[in-house]
Amino acid sequence: MTDTLTIRRPDDWHLHFRDDEVMQAVVPYTARQFGRAIVMPNLSPPVTDTASASAYRSRILAAVPEGVDFMPLMTCYLTDNTDPEDLADGAKAGVFTAAKLYPANATTNSAHGVSDVAKIYPVLEAMERADIVLCVHGEVTDNDIDVFDREAEFIERHMRAIVRDFPSLRVVFEHITTSDAVDFVMAASDNVAATITPQHLHINRNAMLVGGIQPHNYCLPVAKREGHRLALRKAATSGATKFFLGTDSAPHLRSAKESSCGCAGIFNAPFALESYLTVFDEEEALEHFEAFASLNGPRFYRVPVHDQTITLERGDTHVPQTIAMAGEEIVPWHAGEMLSWRISS
């Protein structure tokens, strides 16, 4: 039995840091484990241009603990009015690594998102030309489409058209939750990849709805049926290069989660690697963990893999019930559980 695992330093290819006090509190958790992270732009107001992304990046860097090597990779929040020139200039200047497509009102702070994908075709053209990665929150928002079907419907209505009309555009299908998305990504060209969160590997939709409403298991896209979870586990642990780590850690304070209208988002940053590794261990696929966590993402984003390594070992990690944050508390993913791997160095 393998008891220790040394891998290249991993990266988190989908993450929410927020701003201000919460950002100060959460950045160290990510920087402890990951060398880089793709930082989501859904602040309020959102990060929609080069100037605001550059300022946000500086605030994040100021929150990285002394002596820790961590680089935030910034994304531009696409709106109906995104200026393709500013986006291309921002990418050229090294500020933007990617741009994020949120369908309007699909998730937390997405009210300014894109109302119709057709409206941003000039931006997608510019991105394809400038080789800027497109990150997609792939859910339709129509009221007549069941929340559990919104990802599959997005594939039919939009994903197929985007990859057909922009064959050279690199597209990340973010936080996939269905076997439909796995199949779509596998069948698409090498310009299409996907991130997978730890929660979607661990839970199916029962975790949200059985035994009372479980707000801390609620995130978007929502967890689906068991068959989808199994398809995601197979994809993540298969060694296929198209799938990589993206935690979608999305901190909301306890009061915002445990409310009559609880926010979507799971705060998994503190023990993300241990959470993923538990799944790879259960699937007897430890040999594929480094590809998923540390190699496939850099390869897709065309950045070097890290020289540094991180070592994980079999051993207890006790996840606290709550963590103090911003004068309140936050409930972490796996709250109160014991995980069977820990970071040793």
Scan residues 73-112 and list those touching ligand NCD (CB under 6 A).
Answer: 107-108
Tokens standing for residue 55:
């300022």
Q: Exactly one of 248, 281, 307, 316 is catalytic; name it.
A: 248
Using rule CB under 5 A, residue 151 touches Zn ion: no
Closer residue to ligand NCD, CB minimum distance, 21 or 190: 21
Does residue 343 bind ligand NCD (CB under 6 A)? no
**Contacts to ligand NCD from residues 32-51, by CB under 6 A:** 42
Q: What DSSP designation does 155 have?
A: I
Q: Which two tokens stand for residue 35?
A: 């060398």
196 lies in the binding site for ligand NCD (CB under 6 A): no
Q: How far is the CB of 331 from ligand NCD (least distance, A)?
A: 14
**Distance in Å, CB of 142 to ligand NCD, minimum:** 17
Q: Which lies closer to ligand NCD via its Cβ, residue 107 or residue 317?
A: 107
- Binding-residue pattern over the window 246 to 285 for ligand NCD, x denoting contact by CB under 6 A: --x-x-------------xx--------------------
| Total site size for ligand NCD, rule CB under 6 A | 11
Window 193-232: contact mask with Zn ion (x via CB under 5 A): ----------------------------------------
**Nearest partner of 274 among 202, 212, 328, 210, judged by Cα:** 202
Residue closest to 46 by CA, chosen among 27, 73, 25, 74: 74
Helix 272-282 × helix 20-33 angle, to 10°: 40
Q: How far apart are CB 100 and ligand NCD at their closest, in Å?
A: 9
d(CA 83, CA 87): 6
In this complex, which beta carbon is closest to Zn ion, that of residue 218 or of residue 341?
A: 218
State yes or no: residue 16 binds ligand NCD (CB under 6 A).
Answer: yes
DSSP 337: -
CB of 125 to Zn ion, least distance (A): 25
With a CB cutoff of 8 Å and minimum separation 6, the contacts of 162 are: 117, 124, 134, 136, 169, 171
For tokens 């198209």, the residue is 242
Which residue, chain included where needed, has tokens 């705060």?
267
Query: In a 10 Å sphere around its CB, with 0-12 CB exposed, 13-18 middle and 19+ buried, how is residue 319 labelled?
Result: middle
Beta bridge partners of residue 136, listed in sequence order: 101, 173
Per-position x/- string for 214-253, each x denoting binding to ligand NCD as judged by CB under 6 A, each - no binding: -----xx---------------------------x-x---
Does 151 contact ligand NCD by CB under 6 A? no
Say which entry of Zn ion, ligand NCD, none residue 180 contacts (CB below 5 to 8 A, set by partner kind): none
* Paired residues of 163 in beta bridges: none
User: Residue 199, Cα to own-chain centre: how many angstroms?
Assistant: 11
What crossing angle do the helices spanning 84-92 and 50-63 adopt, rounded to 10°? 40
Nearer to ligand NCD, 260 or 345 (CB): 260
Helix (H, G, I), strand (E, B) or coil at 168: coil
Give the C-alpha separation, 320 to 224, whole Å: 26
Quote the CA–CA distance of 64 and 33 in Å, as a whole number.
12
**From Zn ion, ligand NCD, none, interface partner of 139 (C-beta below 5 to 8 A by class):** none
The binding track of 243-282 with respect to Zn ion, each residue x by CB under 5 A or -, is -----x----------------------------------
Q: How many other C-beta atoms lie within 10 A of the C-beta of residue 118? A: 9
Residue 248 or 281: which CB sits closer to ligand NCD?
248
Q: Which is nearer to ligand NCD, 250 or 330 (CB)?
A: 250
Active-site residue 248, yes or no?
Answer: yes
Cβ distance 80 to 115 under 8 Å?
Answer: yes
Round to the nearest angstrom and report the end-to-end CA distance of the chain. 20
Query: Contact, 10 vs 245, CB < 8 A?
Result: yes
Minimal distance, residue 286 CB to ligand NCD, in Å: 27
Binding site for Zn ion (CB under 5 A): 248
Residues at the site binding ligand NCD, with contacts judged by CB under 6 A:
16, 42, 107-108, 137, 219-220, 248, 250, 264-265
Instruction: List, by residue number, the catalytic residues.
Output: 248
